[in-house]
Structure 1
Amino acid sequence: MKKASKIIIGILGVSTVTAGVINYKLGEKVKSLEVEISEKKDQNKQIEIKHQDLGKELSRVIDDKVSIENRTKDIERTNQYLIELFNGFNGITYEQLSLIPSNIHGSAFPHNQLHYKLIGELGLPSSQNLWFYETYISSLNFERKVPNWVCQRIEIQDFKEKIADRKHCNFNNNTIQVPHHFKQENKDYWGSGWSKGHMVPAGDNIKSQESMCQTFLLNSNIVPQDLNNNQNFWYRLESFCKNQLINRFKSVTIISGPIYHHPNLIEQLDEDQLKSRPKYSKQTQKKFVKYEVIGDRNVAVPNYLFKIILVEPKDDNNNNKQQQPYLVSSFLIPNEPISSDAVLTDYQVPLHEIEVKTGLQFFKKLNPKTDIQSLCDSDPINCMMMTEKDLLPRLIGFCRSTKDINDLKNEYKHINWGDSLTNLLNSKSLEINQIEELKNQERLLKKQQEEQSKN
């Protein structure tokens, strides 16, 4: 029995030792596996870091590629512009150009994305005496002292923050690119009966004081305009673009300018003129282009104004990659008083008609058959301007005398003014009465002082 117990104890001892050895070996194996797993994790982490670095490097390469492509396109557009400009360059020397800060007086060369986009995607109407400002491009006419055309583009973000104030801007002819004897002057308008009409509105440039003041440059952006037209219909058209269209479309490109063609100036030849005609002439009438000039500089007064509106539709939410066509409509507006109840479509004309009357070619880079559709015809709401009632607050603000107040009430007596407009008119009338009373008191005091000085 004792011998059997010893054998069992011996076997158990051997088993215990064997189990210990096995456990030890398993422990070593586990440690070895843990070390191997840790090394694998480190290797995987290093590989992951390398992948991240490679991803970042790839992203940088892609960004650089896109940047290079964009810069290449910009260079190509600039080169293309310079080629187009070569024959129409206005003769300014390089030394003169180097003295012009582009953010104050503009530049002879395109220098921002707006310029490149208008040149590269749409094409400019002409290349005569071009000058590039922060928010618009102008083609100058030295003979007539006014712009041939002015092109701008507005988007909804242009009106999110108001920084500029027009009271800090003055009409001036600080246009270094225009020789002195071709410049408009403020005094050309004095007593002429014509107002200074903006082609690019100052109110479209509220985000920058410099760009707003650039719209007050006489030769670059101003034409003689009928005052009633300027304050009424033209203002409604400008407001229509910046208050209505930019809320419905991605961007709005506007080209404005003067027209001197007059369709009705035809003179029939009298009997003596018919007899004195050249031998082979069958002419019985003569046609004329006639326009007024004002001031010592003979600033040309246009017979009409044109405004061409091109809108870019917003991106398709259905991820439709097909390019939607631009929408375009053009308008020919007499430079004379226009009734406040006139609607925009009364003055809509085919784009070709304005091209014929101006000698300009609009949107040369677009295919008229595939890239352009009519703005007004596509949806009538696209060309519905503010009503004459909406215009009244602005007209009340223009009143300067009791006579102005009475004239305004008589002209718009057919409108239901309502409490708000009536209160605004009464407030303006009270303000004018107070000013007139102060002026009367000043005149009376001055008269009394003059009488006392005589005595």
Structure 2
Amino acid sequence: MKTMNRILNSKWLVSGVSLTLGTGIGAGLVGLKKANESPIRETLSDIYKRIPIIPIPNVDAATDLSKYHTGQVGTARATEIIKYGFPALTHIKNRESYVLSYDPRNRTAHWVIEQLNIPNLTGESDRKCSEFKEDDSVHVYHRATNWDYKGSGFDRGHLAAAANHKWNQKAMDETFYLSNTAPQNPHLNQKAWNGLEKYCRSLTRHYQNVFVCTGPLYLPRTEADGKMYVKYQVIGKNNVAVPTHFFKVVILEKRSGEVELRSYVMPNAPVDENTPLERFLVPVESIERASGLLFVPNIMKRTSSLRAITAGGK
């Protein structure tokens, strides 16, 4: 959190933003830089250096905003109100090579973000040596188990894909935590979704870094009575939620410092693997509205000032 606070307190400028919406979305976010300086070339060895893209709370659950003393008369009533801490805040899990925000109600993740580059994708790690396992860092009331998936008809679909982390066996093993999975239609998981994951890996040949944020969606639909409802199945005794859709937001970092943004949504249903991936491109704003997350606007909010929008972003 100290790293993130330094980022928030720094005076950054976004030198330009351009968004083009059409069949899908294309975006050119020119690299962050300090005033009167050339674009910064970050090594980004620590994923948290890119956290401005994902909203993360800066107060831990079950901690006070300030120390409370019995009988204290404080200037802020909130100090007393929360003296026993918050029941919960977003659960952040920092793994070997990905960061995850866990959703204890649905027994899966809100989002998982990972950094892909050629070194990360090469190595001797073998998924045959890895096993799906409960995440013992999650309270037993709120975790999924392998028994929840047994006989459900759904795959334990990776959010951070195992093949993205061949560089280290421990890193690959950690992708098999059930907190990094969600119930996924087998045909989707093994066909079209697998194709999207492979495509993301292929982008590392053309970009310095590829940041992939993946998560579930629970989208409303119109029922027979003409009203909109959010309905989703749950599986197992722990009621693991089955997403209606999945999203991927792909942040492409060029060596020049420029950033491109692509975002995809697929239904959690059989999808023809020959369908071009461009069919699943959506405006990133639609994912933000549906998921409650912020991507591009969140970057803008964390800047002290903005330069004029470039011609492409009028």
Within 5 A, what are the aligned runs for 1:37-436?
A: 75-77=2-4, 113-119=45-51, 122-127=52-57, 128-160=90-122, 162-176=123-137, 178-219=138-179, 221-242=180-201, 244-262=202-220, 264-268=221-225, 285-315=226-256, 323-324=257-258, 326-363=259-296, 364-366=298-300
Task: Kindly provide the amino acid, as one letter, of the partner of residue 145 in structure 2.
Answer: E
Task: Kindly provide the amino acid, as one letter, of the partner of residue 144 in structure 2.
Answer: Q
C-alpha displacement of 1:171: 0.5
Structure 1 alignment gaps of length 5 or more: 1-73, 82-111, 269-284, 316-322, 375-455
**Secondary structure class of the residue paired with 1:153:** strand
On the 8 A contact 1:249/1:312 being kept in 2, the answer is: yes
**Secondary structure class of the residue paired with 2:46:** helix
Change (3 A) 1:254 1:231: same
C-alpha displacement of 1:341: 1.3
C-alpha displacement of 1:116: 2.8
Q: Within 2, Cα distance between the matches of 1:327 and 1:123?
A: 13
How many residue pairs end up in the alignment?
Answer: 239
Q: Within 2, Cα distance between the matches of 1:222 and 1:370?
A: 39
Q: CA RMSD in A?
A: 2.4
Runs of 4+ in 1 over 6 A off after TM superposition: none
Q: Deviations over 1:396-432 (max 9, x none)?
A: xxxxxxxxxxxxxxxxxxxxxxxxxxxxxxxxxxxxx
Task: Kindly provide the amino acid, as one letter, of the partner of residue 240 in structure 1.
Answer: Y
Scaled by the length of structure 1, the TM-score of the pair is: 0.49
- Structure 1 or 2: more strand by fraction: 2
C-alpha displacement of 1:165: 1.2
On the 8 A contact 1:135/1:153 being kept in 2, the answer is: yes
Q: Within 2, Cα distance between the matches of 1:351 and 1:76?
A: 27
Task: Kindly provide the amino acid, as one letter, of the partner of residue 47 in structure 2.
Answer: H
- Structure 1 or 2: more helix by fraction: 1
- Larger relative contact order, structure 1 or 2 (CA cutoff 8 Å, min sep 6): 2
Q: Within 2, Cα distance between the matches of 1:366 and 1:114?
A: 21
C-alpha displacement of 1:166: 1.1
Q: Within 1, Cα distance between the matches of 2:277 and 2:174?
A: 28
On the 8 A contact 1:174/1:217 being kept in 2, the answer is: yes
**Secondary structure class of the residue paired with 2:299:** coil
Q: Within 2, Cα distance between the matches of 1:240 and 1:76?
A: 31
On the 8 A contact 2:3/2:48 being kept in 1, the answer is: no
C-alpha displacement of 1:75: 4.0
**Secondary structure class of the residue paired with 2:100:** strand
On the 8 A contact 2:3/2:49 being kept in 1, the answer is: no
**Secondary structure class of the residue paired with 1:175:** coil
Scaled by the length of structure 2, the TM-score of the pair is: 0.71
On the 8 A contact 1:115/1:132 being kept in 2, the answer is: no
C-alpha displacement of 1:78: 5.1
**Secondary structure class of the residue paired with 1:352:** helix
Structure 2 alignment gaps of length 5 or more: 9-43, 58-89
C-alpha displacement of 1:126: 4.2
Change (3 A) 1:311 1:80: closer
On the 8 A contact 2:155/2:186 being kept in 1, the answer is: yes
**Secondary structure class of the residue paired with 1:77:** helix
**Secondary structure class of the residue paired with 2:227:** strand
C-alpha displacement of 1:76: 4.4
**Secondary structure class of the residue paired with 1:365:** helix
